[in-house]
Structures are given as C-alpha cells and as structure tokens.
Chains A and B, each alone.
Chain A
Amino acid sequence: MPVEESIKRLRDAIISCDKELALEATREIIDKGIDPIEAFEKGLVEGARVVGDKFDRLEIFLTELIEVADVMKACTDLLMSQIPKGRVPKKGTVVIGTVKGDIHEIGKNIVASLLSANGFDVHDLGADVPAEKFIEEADKVGADIIAVSALMTSTIGGQKDVIDYLKATGKRKKFYVMVGGGPTTREWAEQIGADGYAETAMEAVKVALDLIQKRRSS
C-alpha cells in the first residue's frame, strides 16, 4: 500500500472514530517506516479537522468528539514513540479550566477535546479553578496559552481575575490568555485585555493556532 493510502486509512479511521482501525493503521505506518511526523500531520491532524467541522455542524455530538480525542491521543503516543525527543512536533501547550465559583464544564470539555485532537498538549484543571492555580499550572508545564472558561454572568469576572493576577505577578507577557463561554463576548475579551476570544469550540482551535503562530514568529 502506497504511503498516501496508509495515511488516508489512518485519517479515515479518525473521522469514523474507529479506535481499533486507527491503532491498526498507526502500527502499519510504523511498520512500513513512514515518516511519523508526516502521518501525524496528514493523518491525525487532518482527520481531527474534519471531525471538528462535523461537530460544528452537529453531525456528531460531544460524546463522539471525546472518543475521537482519546483515539487521537492513543495514536499520537504510538507515533511519537518512534521519534527522538527533540524532534517531536507539538502544536503548543494549553492550560484550561473554568473560573473560580463556576461549576460548569461541558463547554470547556469540548474545547479541551478539540485542542487535544488537534495536537495540543492540554492540561485540564476542571471547574471552580482559582486564578493563581491557572498560573501555577501554566508555569509548571511551560504553557503557551491559558484558556479560561466561564458560563455565568455572575462568574465571568473570574476571567479578568486571571489576567489581573498575571499582571500582579509580573507574568502577563509569559502566557497568552484566551477566554470563552456562554456570557463571554468579543467586547468583554477586549475590555479585560485577553489575547484571544472564540464563540465556538472550533473557532477556539483556530485562535489557539494563531496565537502559537504569533508566538513562534515573534
């Protein structure tokens, strides 16, 4: 089977969320000595893009999306085990969570799954996360982006608290901050000085990719 066909098989397995087939295709790619980075970009990431678009149109739902993210992770781990550490491609590292006082997680889970499926290293802190915890974790894992979710008009201020805490600790320039969630608007994001805002989960992936690009080019 030619290289393109093997990679297409992996991509199609991701799109159809077939874990067994995806792992089998990944093993085949490794056995054939196909470049793991090419397989990652053209197979896994491309498959995840199609899955994200399907979720945007609600042709698939959150459960399927999370399953795809899990399959992606398993296949990525297999592929990356073939690459020397220094050459492992990484889209970027994101620390994500819902603000202090807010117990809603579903929107944040969607963004985390899509980021993960698109090759980001995602550290999910869950819900009701204090401002300092976001920063402590971002420092610990060497994050590029802190993604802060809020679902209530009464808790949205927690997003500003994260940015204020970064400023107060002299770390504002160290991380990009993205905000999102039900009550969040572009105007609000601009008002509090966030670096990125997205209304939908797929848009969040694009914003994160743009921020990483910006970081690399600067």
Chain B
Amino acid sequence: MVNLLDVVDRALTGKACFEKEYDLNIFSSKLREVVKEYDIKYDPDTPVPSDDSLADDVFKAALDFYREVGTYCTDTGRIIKFDEDEIKEGLKTAPSELTFGEGVDAKTLIPRKPESKTPPWCFLGAGGAPVSSEEIFLKLVEGYASIPLANSITTPALTSVRGMRIRPGTPLEILGTIRNVVLAREALRRAGRPGLPIMNALATATRAVSLITALHPDYGLRRTDGYLIGIIAELKTNFDLLNKVCALQSLGYGGICAESGPIYGGYCGGPEGTAVATVASHLMGVLVYRAGWYLSFPIHINYGSNSTPELLWVTSVSAQAISRNTHLLSLHLNYTAAGPCTEMCLYEIAAQRLAAIPSGVSGIESLGTGKATHEDYLTPMEPRFAAEVAHAVVGMKREDANEIVKAILPKYIDNIAAPPVGLKYQECYDVKTGEPSKRCLEVYSKVKRELEDLGLEFKC
C-alpha cells in the first residue's frame, strides 16, 4: 500500500513538468481523450440521469485518466503517479465506515448507493463562509447545533482577531484558528450537544502550522472530528498540504478528508470532463492524502455556485459513479448563487439535494449561501432546510428526482447570473434569542409547501 513517504518520494523524483504544460497538455488533453473514448455525454434534459452504464463509464474513465495524469506537486514541479494496482489496492483498503463525535452525538458515517433508503449524513453549517464578529460566530454555530438532523458541524470563518484582519501565514492566522476552535466548542456546549463533531477543521487554517497548533488538546479539537485537506484545482497539491496530512496521520487522527472543487468551464472543460475530474479527485484523495472520507463541490466558473443544470448533472453522475463502484465515504457540498432568506436560495438547495441524495452520496455538507462570499450572509435556516430535503428524498428513484428537479429549475435559473443577495444573519434572526424572523419562516414554509405539492414527503 502506498504510504505518505512514497508520495513525498514521488513528489521529489517524479516526472518534471512545467505547470502550464501539466494543465494544458496533460490534464486537459487527456481528459478530453477519455471523455471521447468512453462517449460520455451531458444531456441538459436529464439533470439526474438513471443510466447506470453512464455512471460506470465515468468511473472507468476517471481510473484511466488518473492513472495517466497523476497529481502535480506545485512545490517541486513534478508529477506524483500511481499504477493501476496501487489505485485498486487504495480503493479496496479505504475505510468503509468512520465514527465521528462523542457521547450521545457519536455516529458512524457509512456509504450509500443510488436510491438507497439509508438516511444521509448531514454535515451542517456555514461551509467556511466569513462572519464579522465572534458574537455572530457563536450564535450561528449554536443555531446549527440546534438543528435536530445535524450529525456534524461546519463552522464559519473568523476574519479578524481583536479587530486585526487575519492574514494567511502570520501569527494572526494561528490565533484566529485557535479562536475558531474554542468558540465552536463553546457554542456546541451552549446548544447542549458537546459531543457533536466539527468536520471542517478548520476554515481559518490555510497553513499547516495553524492547524497543527490548533490540534493541541487544550483548544478542544478531537480525534473524532473531521479534517479537510484541500486539493488544488485541478489535481494538484503542495508540501504545506502534505504537512497537514503528515501531522494528522502521525498523531493518529483518522478523520482526514480530501476536499476538491473541480471547475466547470476551467481546465475540466464541460460537464462531462468535470464529472470525470470529480471522480479522479476522489482517487487522488485515496492515494495522496490517504483520506478516510471525501468532500466534493464541483463549481461553475462564472457563477460560483453548483445549482445550474450542468452542475446538477455533474453532482449526480459523479455521485453515482463513486457510489456504484466503490465504498468511499463521499459527501457533496452545495453553494447557492442566491443569499439567505430568499426563495431562490431554497429552490437551489432543493435541486442540489435532489441531485445528490438519490444518486448515492454518503451525505451532504450544507452549505455556502450566496457563494459564501458576503460577511454574515448566512443563517441556520438554510442548512436546516437542506437537511430536511435530504431526509425527505431518501429512497427516491432517480427518475422521480429528475422530474422534480426539472420542475424546480425554472423557478430560479433565469436569475442565476444576477441572484438576490438576501439578508444578513442580524436581519433574519434575533441576535439575542437566536430565533428566526417571521419573514424568514414565511419564506421557508412557502417553499416547503411547494415542494410537498411536487411530491416530497417531509419527515420533519
């Protein structure tokens, strides 16, 4: 089995190649080749396909593709490659279940298949979106932990420490990361769910040194939390990311996640290439990071969201490819174009969860509202809604999900380029009580009723 030392050795001695050459002549070129070879075709009329052979072809194409192109190390300008046996062995020995959290909130993440009746893992919260103050950070995380369907928490990102803006690679980043952990744990205690796992440890820690410092037990991170290690688009890594892997492995932390956001319209090309690259990113996670679980958020190059028909198709097909052919624990993260407390945002969430859950993802991370760009434009209402939709569509046939998605798409697609920005947390929620406003509840209830009319059966 390939280990981290093998990866480092290949990063130091693998084939030398300039980055532009890797992007254009290796990654893009080979991707176009396998898409053609396997005759993978996007169908705009079927955002949630039910064609098993399409899913299996995407998986086979990704295997061929990743074996050929490997992973580019930006620090050494070399390619880390794996042969077919190593890839297959990696897939075979990857964890098929992982337990996160403690006490009554401990729970095991397991794989799902397309149309599975197994409830999905709900990893709820901010998706690392920025917040302006520690007070709002606390209120938000407490709100996320109070969602009954939450299995784990994704925290927001602090942008300042005692009024000083956080700069990456500085002591401010280390201090910000520590505060992020301490505040998140405190918020979970306040919500009465101290054992709930934090699974995006940590949005503030861009550098390994920040994560490693925050791992000190005094601050509250645990071996039962989850740790996201980013894959640089497309299929790239560097030594700082590998340092995070090295520290977590050496300290016995099992919750390493390979996180990737292949870009539709970028080097991946169209939806077909983006789907293959999404699966290939999982293979990179298996081999380069020895990840226990996977998080993907294929994303639109212009809109910064993944609710367009092309991205719904990519989400569905890549999830089917992975869940039908592996036991990898794979979650999907959604970004909406519209901001909080808008009907459009909830329609986007519904479409995204209808594309992901019946296609067999192990769970969802929800979510980045309004592309997760504006400070404080996030509330607990949207992740709660995402979890309720995810549970409502458990066991649904893909063809039924496809019809419902097609009915939802016209409700928002014309506004995707200029979506409503929505409202800030302070405008949607009472900051003292943490209760949603009447307007927020009205928007939520209205969209939920519409989805019920389309055939969704909400369990809560």
Contact = CB atoms under 8 A, between A and B. Distances in A.
Interface of B is mostly: loop
A157 B264 CA distance: 27
Contact of B373 (A55, A104, A182): A182
Contact of B301 (A58, A101, A154, A184): A58
Nearest to A57: B302
A102 B265 contact: no
B166 A157 contact: yes
Contact of B168 (A63, A100, A106): A100
Contacts of B129: 153
A101 B267 contact: no
Nearest to A55: B265
A160 interface: yes
**How many of chain A's residues touch chain B, expressed as a range?**
20 to 34
Interface string B28-48: 100000000000000000000
A101, A154, A161: residue with the most chain B Cβ atoms closer than 10 Å: A154
B458 to A, nearest CB: 33
B302 A155 contact: no
Nearest to A106: B266
Contact of B266 (A62, A182, A183, A184): A62
A162 to B, nearest CB: 12
Given A61-B265, A104-B232, A182-B373, A153 B128 contact: yes
B367 interface: no
A167 B71 CA distance: 41
Given A103-B74, A152-B206, A183-B373, A56 B302 contact: yes
Given A101-B206, A153-B159, A183-B373, A61 B269 contact: yes
Nearest to A182: B304
Nearest to B418: A199
A185 B373 contact: yes
A209 interface: no
A103 B74 CA distance: 9
A157 B176 CA distance: 14
B204 interface: yes
A43 interface: no
Contacts of A103: 74, 232, 238
Nearest to B210: A154
Interface string A169-211: 0000000000000111100000000000000100000000000
Interface string B361-401: 00000000001111000000000000000000000000000
B130 interface: yes
B441 interface: no
Given A153-B157, A153-B373, A182-B304, A106 B267 contact: yes
B351 interface: no
Contacts of B270: 58, 61
Contacts of A30: none
Interface string A133-162: 000000000000000000011110110110
Nearest to B31: A63
A183 B130 contact: yes
B69 interface: no
Nearest to A127: B74
B169 A101 contact: yes
Contacts, number: 87
Given A104-B233, A106-B263, A154-B159, A62 B167 contact: no
Contacts of A34: none
B24 interface: yes
A131 B149 CA distance: 45
Contacts of A152: 168, 206
A153 B304 CA distance: 14
A66 interface: yes
A56 B28 CA distance: 19
Contacts of B268: 61
B267 A154 contact: no
A62 B128 contact: no
A62 to B, nearest CB: 5
Given A63-B24, A153-B130, A200 B372 contact: no
A63 B233 contact: no
B159, B263, B301: residue with the most chain A Cβ atoms closer than 10 Å: B301
A90 B232 CA distance: 34
Interface string A14-58: 000000000000000000000000000000000000000001101
Nearest to A103: B232
A52 to B, nearest CB: 12
Interface string A96-115: 00001111101100100000
Contact of A101 (B167, B263, B302): B167
A184 B204 CA distance: 17
B181 interface: no
Interface string B91-110: 00000000000000000000
Contact of B167 (A56, A161, A185): A161
B449 interface: no
B203 interface: yes
Contact of B157 (A58, A67, A110, A154): A154
A100 B172 CA distance: 14
Contacts of A200: 302
Contacts of A62: 28, 265-267, 269, 301
B189 interface: no
17 contacts: A58-B265, A58-B301, A61-B266, A62-B265, A62-B301, A100-B167, A102-B168, A104-B232, A106-B263, A107-B301, A152-B168, A153-B128, A153-B130, A154-B203, A182-B304, A182-B373, A183-B130
Given A63-B23, A182-B371, 14 more contacts: A58-B301, A62-B301, A63-B28, A101-B169, A106-B233, A106-B301, A152-B206, A153-B373, A154-B157, A154-B204, A155-B168, A157-B166, A183-B130, A183-B373
State the 8 A-B residue pairs at the shortest beta-carbon distance, nearest first: A101-B168, A153-B130, A63-B28, A61-B269, A183-B373, A157-B165, A62-B266, A58-B265
